[in-house]
Amino acid sequence: MDSDQQSSGRLLDRLLAGCGGSLVAYLLVSHTVRAFLAEVRRILEKVLATVGGS
Amino acid sequence: MITTSVLSMLIPAWAAGLAAKRMVGPENSAARIGAWFILSASLIVLPIQLAAALQLLGIIARIRLAVPAVVGGALLVLFLIRDRGSHTDRASTAGLGRVGSQAGRGAVIQAAVIVGSTYGIVALDRVTGFPSSWDGVAYHLPLAVRWLQEGSLALPATSDWRESLPGNAEIIAMLALGTGWQALAEMWNVVSALGLCAGSYLLARGMGVGASGALAGGVLVASLPLVLFETFSAYVDLFGSACLIASLGLVVASRPPATASLADSRVLALSGLGCGLAVGTKPTLWPYAALVAVGVVAALIWSKAASRRRPRLSLIFLGATAAPCLFWFVRSLAATGNPFYPLAIEVPGLLSLAGFRPSEITDPDNYLNFVRSRGEWLLYPWIEFKRHRSRLSTGSGLGPVFAAFVPIGLLYTLWSVRRLDPGPPRAVRLACLGGLGLGMAIWWVAVHGTPRFALPLIVLACVLAAPFLDDALRVRPRVTRALLVSAALVSALLSTLPTAQELPRRVRHQLWERHRFYDVPRLIDQLPACSIVINYNPEDEFWNNFALAGKRLANTVVPPWAARRALDHPPDSACPIYLFDREPFMSGEDAAHVEAKGYARIDLPLETRWRVWQRTVR
């Protein structure tokens, strides 16, 4: 493997780590994810209330 | 009408399939899909526009829905006769059939299956329901209904901007509504999504990206919640964007502009048709279509083609561009003196053409529904702020796959372009990067408002990330697969939750009948033929404009923006006139005004959310 390929590989490693970080950032700060989690929580509470009530 | 409409959708699609095969050859599926998409739309839109022009000139009484079937049928017969005697006479498709890198194909297919399954789930919702996209039922579909009822594409007397925009997509919706299956008026956009993905794939291949990387670019595009929800809606941004991207993809992938070879005139004609279809779809696409047109003509001028052929090729492209959009400009010019109506044109001291300023059509502060300041657009892929509704929808949403790969992929393409040898892939990447930069500047300054107005640019950004995915899939396949599949799974979860909630609700409340689905009185489906229904609701009740047309689409609905005028100046018609008012009801003073105009209240004992009046005097 020549040095050009190695440096290319290293760059891709860093960029892929950046992609992972970017995905994590999306999961942490996105209003869409927050709304999704709030909705899931609401559904679960409703289900638990129904199960508890019966 | 049902059979005619079905045939007018199927026969042009069949003829387009044969024509696409002849024009770009059978060896590359993406090119055939892109060509088929543009040709199908053209074979539906152009004959209807021609008939509409004849109708406006008074040569024929009304547009016949059979026109696309007749034109498509004639082409079909021509192709079948010619194919019997000779081999397919197809254009050279150098560059379209390259196999390229197969590395990472499994990962891309896994991601494609996940993304595809979200389309399946949302499709299930739409197939079992009725059109429900906001702008769709507010004015896109009511416009198509009006054209269907009147047999004319004339501008309305109200000259309201919503009913005066160019309407290539609404022509297709009109035929879809004519089939009697109203969900088809949204479902047909699946074809637009196919055209968009095929165009993206071709564009990525034109950048020198391998098959897997180009496919990954297509998956990026399909994963955009904006694209997913527009696919199953009557919004027109997706159709117009798909026409533009397919147009660009065909011309770039068939004959990269920097090569010594001539661009094939048939592919150029196809590309021009795609560009023109976009222009005739929505004014927000005009700047991007202008960029594509300038780019193609510039590429022709700078190509090493024989100089005497350049003007002819440029004319073929520009002529094909004019064909599917000229009608709308001439219609506006004839009716208002402003070819760009409903847009007002103001050049201080030189020109003043009446119409609506962009701020009257889209609130200048509309962007605050998506970001809290203009600077936040730079972080929008991660934040996806929404002031009113937090779910992903047609209005916005780039999704996790975009956030994970596109910003970094763009940086990689920018960095790597200088390392490429001079040649077509480098030229295409540079042209697309330049086009993206220019397009973003135009969007920022002139279009703005909402992310979907930038859909062609968002798609272009996804395609420009394909070289990164291609290299990453080849060099680091396992990590890239893990990231791609994870992001696709998150996207699928986020996108399908609204549908997963809606479907059980529909089953629980038995919302299979149209009036129950839209929550309108059953009476709306039982009104006498040709009834005029005034939708007397505040402006935020545009939703009912389509619902009040009834299940046979036989009622003529007067939308809220024309309701006051219709009340004070009743339509000169022998048809019965009704006024529907949905809660929160009009004030007592307004109700007295309605009764003073000769309307009597109809008793609806089981209905609490609606009040209905019928005009009793003539």
Q: What is the pLDDT of residues B242-254, one digit of tens each?
A: 999 999 999 887 7
Q: What pLDDT shows up at residue B429?
A: 94
Q: What pLDDT shows up at residue B101?
A: 56
State how far the Cα of B236 lies from the Cα of B230, in Å rounded to an integer.
Answer: 8
Look-up of token digits 């942490």: A28
Mark out the alpha helices in B525-581 (DSSP H runs): 544-547, 560-568
Chain A residues whose CB is inside 8 A of the B399 CB are 32
Q: What pLDDT shows up at residue B158?
A: 74
pLDDT band at residue B260 using 50, 70 and 90 as cut-offs: very low
Contact B121, B500 (CB under 8 A): yes
State how far the Cα of B585 lies from the Cα of B537, in Å rounded to an integer.
Answer: 8
- Do B238 and B328 reside in the same domain of the chain? yes
Residues B474-490, mean pLDDT to the nearest whole number: 94
What token pair was written down for B338? Answer: 């402003």
Closest-CA residue in chain A for B225? Answer: A32
- Do B260 and B401 reside in the same domain of the chain? yes
Residue B509 included in any domain: no
pTM over 0.90? The answer is yes
- Do B449 and B546 reside in the same domain of the chain? no
- Do B301 and B442 reside in the same domain of the chain? yes
The domain in which residue A33 lies consists of: 3-53
Q: Is B373 helix (H, G, I), strand (E, B) or coil?
A: coil
pLDDT band at residue B529 using 50, 70 and 90 as cut-offs: confident
Residue B494 included in any domain: no
Mean pLDDT across chain B, nearest whole number? 88
Lowest mean pLDDT among B267-281, B375-389, B480-494: B375-389
Please check the confidence at residue B567 and state whether its pLDDT lies above 70.
Answer: yes
State how far the Cα of B58 lies from the Cα of B62, in Å rounded to an integer.
Answer: 9
Nearest Cα to B245, choosing from B210, B265, B217? B217
Give chain B's end-to-end CA distance (angstroms, integer). Answer: 32
Residue B505 included in any domain: no
B226, B376, B479: best to mutate for the A interface, most A CBs within 10 A? B479
- Do B479 and B519 reside in the same domain of the chain? no
Residue B499 included in any domain: no
What's the total number of domains in chain B? 2
Q: Is B346 helix (H, G, I), strand (E, B) or coil?
A: strand
Which residues in B have their CB inside 8 Å of a CB on A?
A: 381-386, 390-392, 397, 399-400, 403-405, 407-408, 411-412, 468, 471-472, 475-476, 479-480, 483, 486-487, 490, 493-494, 497, 501
> What Å distances lie between residue B268 and B165, B238, B295, B299, B317, CA to CA?
27, 22, 12, 12, 5
- Do B469 and B539 reside in the same domain of the chain? no
Q: What pLDDT shows up at residue B257?
A: 42
State how far the Cα of B516 lies from the Cα of B494, in Å rounded to an integer.
Answer: 28
Pairing label, strands B532-535, B345-347: unpaired
**Binary contact (A13, B476; C-beta < 8 A):** yes
- Do B474 and B401 reside in the same domain of the chain? yes
Look-up of token digits 């559904």: A43
Residue B377 included in any domain: no
What token pair was written down for B491? Answer: 């996207």
State how far the Cα of B559 lies from the Cα of B139, in Å rounded to an integer.
Answer: 9
Please check the confidence at residue B262 and state whether its pLDDT lies above 60.
Answer: no
Closest-CA residue in chain B for A12? Answer: B472
- Do B562 and B423 reside in the same domain of the chain? no
Chain B residues whose CB is inside 8 A of the A32 CB are 384, 386, 390-392, 397, 399, 494
What's the total number of domains in chain A? 1
pLDDT band at residue B96 using 50, 70 and 90 as cut-offs: very low
Nearest Cα to B104, choosing from B468, B548, B394, B545? B468
The domain in which residue B476 lies consists of: 2-91+101-335+342-372+393-483
Q: What pLDDT shows up at residue B391?
A: 65
Lowest mean pLDDT among B72-76, B205-209, B257-261, B489-493: B257-261
Please check the confidence at residue B370 and state whether its pLDDT lies above 70.
Answer: yes
Nearest residue, CB atoms, A29 vs list B383, B390, B493? B383
pLDDT band at residue B240 using 50, 70 and 90 as cut-offs: very high
**Binary contact (B400, A8; C-beta < 8 A):** no
Chain B residues whose CB is inside 8 A of the A38 CB are 390
- Do B531 and B475 reside in the same domain of the chain? no
Residue B383 included in any domain: no
Please check the confidence at residue B369 and state whether its pLDDT lies above 60.
Answer: yes
pLDDT tens, residue by residue, B489-508 = 999 999 998 888 888 888 88
- The Cα of B489 is separated from the nearest Cα of chain A by a number of Å equal to 12
- Do B463 and B535 reside in the same domain of the chain? no
Nearest residue, CB atoms, A36 vs list B408, B479, B497? B497
Look-up of token digits 């009511």: B142
Q: What pLDDT shows up at residue B360?
A: 85
The Cβ of residue B470 has, within 10 Å, a number of other Cβ atoms equal to 29
State how far the Cα of B412 lies from the Cα of B435, in Å rounded to an integer.
Answer: 17
Residue B138 included in any domain: yes
Q: What pLDDT shows up at residue B460?
A: 97
Q: What pLDDT shows up at residue B542?
A: 73
Q: What pLDDT shows up at residue B167?
A: 95
State how far the Cα of B220 lies from the Cα of B228, in Å rounded to an integer.
Answer: 11
Residue B44 included in any domain: yes
Q: Say if the ipTM goes beyond 0.90.
A: yes
- Do B325 and B437 reside in the same domain of the chain? yes
Which residues in A have their CB inside 8 Å of a CB on B?
A: 8-9, 12-13, 15-16, 18-20, 22-23, 25-27, 29-36, 38-40, 43
Chain A residues whose CB is inside 8 A of the B394 CB are none
Residues B316-329, mean pLDDT to the nearest whole number: 96
pLDDT band at residue B540 using 50, 70 and 90 as cut-offs: low
